[in-house]
Amino acid sequence: MKRRIRFGWMVVFSIALLIGLPAGTLKAAEGFHTISTQELKTWMESTDRPTLVFSLSEIEYREVHIPGSICITMELMEVSDRMPDDRNSPIVFYCHGPG
């Protein structure tokens, strides 16, 4: 059974990652934290791994993605059943970055 996930919930409990940009290059929106590639690597090697979400198309995901990530396009984020059940668990959203 698919459960509805409000986009606002994801904003509040998510962490934004823009690959290729140094941390702090863009001002993070309220509820988001920008992390560096190295911070993500360290976090992914820990026992408290975040859910890693590639937010572009399935085609782009098949071409290149971070191992261990899942693909949920922007259009499906509100209705996806692949998001964590625990609303307090960290989620890292990423794409190819700006440009």
Please indicate, yes or no, whether the overall pTM of this predicted structure exceeds 0.75: no
For position 6, what pLDDT does the model report? 38
Mean pLDDT for each 10-residue chunk of the chain (99 residues)?
A: 38 36 50 86 91 93 92 88 85 78
- Candidates 92, 94, 75, 73; CA nearest to 84 is 92
Burial 17-52 (b: 16+ CB within 10 A, else e): bbeeeeeeeeeeeeebebbbbeebeebeeeeeebbb
For position 74, what pLDDT does the model report? 86
For position 95, what pLDDT does the model report? 87
State how beta strands 70-71 and 14-16 pair: unpaired
For position 53, what pLDDT does the model report? 94
